[in-house]
Structure 1
Amino acid sequence: MLSNHETFFALDRFAVVGRSQVKPFPLLSYRRLKALGKTVHAIDPSTDRIDGDPAYPDLAALPGPVEGLIIETPKAEVHDWVSAAAALGIRDVWVHQRHETPEALAVAETHGINLRTGSCAVMYLDPGVSVHGLHKLIMKLTGRY
């Protein structure tokens, strides 16, 4: 049986949010979702292109609806992105490990958002031998995968 975190990647249409002006855009998540054949949009208010693809300033600017949202922004922005997801009816959101806030958790609970927290999305997306693979092994061994 798949864990709640694993079911996130059964979705087909995603947006990945980053702010490359502050920290590198989450290219590993973005590229891996694309490699899996998913529809993926980059959201980055600080640039208009990510990895050669259009980058959108916010969720409302996307060319179509998404089912899943991965948020890898500075922690101070997470509440606003979860709120924006709630406003658009996005019910599956992933917040990068240790970036969730009490305010973001409250918004998710109020709006029925399945908010995945506590781990890195790449751990679930990277099938190879890497730091993420080691993280995956540790999480499986400790029953937190």
Structure 2
Amino acid sequence: MADIKKAAESFLGLHTIAVVGVSSKGDTAANIIYKKLREQGYKVFAVNPNAKKAEGDACYPSLQSIPDQVDGVVIGTAPDVTPIIVSECASLGIKNIWIHRSFGVGSFHPEALKIAAENNLSLIPGGCPMMFSEPVDPGHKCMRWFLKVTGKQARPVGFHP
């Protein structure tokens, strides 16, 4: 099992990333992650079945509806949706998943770990890509430090750097 830093580097080395849970209102963690990845030059796709546009871009109702091959998925939804998204990733052959979670439950659902293991997926079950995507803002640096010193960092599954 890789540590979170190595798993994050591997995930952030991908080129095409879908962010599930981006809102047309712009008020979610998924929106912030989506904007940061887009600003950094990633090819990103917003996914939300209840929105046609988000952050000025087209919003897709599902991962399956995205017209390009996706290398990775960030999940920023309600926790009960997460196992469905992880299963969809498995069926589409998307092997790299990051479940957003900071101090609360976030998008994490324990069933996601089981689905990832059964399908040989690489999964980061917590934290935030913004904690590792340079330049890291002060708030996310503090969050990364706090999670590390308290031993509450995500334990990646299936990453082999």
107 and 129 in structure 1: CA distance in 2 versus 1, 3 angstrom threshold: closer
Q: Deviations over 1:36-64 (max 9, x none)?
A: 21110000111100111000000111011
| Other structure's SS at 1:81 match | helix
Aligned length: 145
Greater CA drift, 66-75 or 132-141: 132-141
Structure 2 unaligned runs (5+)?
155-161
1:20 equivalent to 2:23? Answer yes
Distance in 2 separating the partners of 1:85 and 1:113: 9
Which residue does the alignment assign to 2:157?
A: none
1:30 equivalent to 2:34? Answer yes
| Other structure's SS at 1:61 match | coil
Distance in 2 separating the partners of 1:139 and 1:91: 25
1:112 equivalent to 2:120? Answer yes
Q: Which has the higher contact order (CA 8 A, sep 6+)?
A: 2
Structure 1 unaligned runs (5+)?
none
TM-score, normalisation: structure 2: 0.79
Distance in 1 separating the partners of 2:86 and 2:72: 11
Identity over aligned pairs, percent: 32
Distance in 1 separating the partners of 2:8 and 2:141: 15
Aligned equivalent of 1:131, options 121, 130, 139:
139
Give the residue type in structure 2 aligned to 1:70. Answer: V
TM-score, normalisation: structure 1: 0.87
| Other structure's SS at 2:9 match | helix
- 1:32/1:126 contact within 8 Å kept: no
Which residue does the alignment assign to 1:75?
A: 79
Give the residue type in structure 1 aligned to 2:78. Answer: P
CA RMSD, Structure 1 to Structure 2 (Å): 2.4
| Other structure's SS at 2:132 match | helix
| Other structure's SS at 1:59 match | coil
Distance in 1 separating the partners of 2:79 and 2:88: 15
50 and 126 in structure 1: CA distance in 2 versus 1, 3 angstrom threshold: farther
Q: Which has the higher helix share?
A: 1
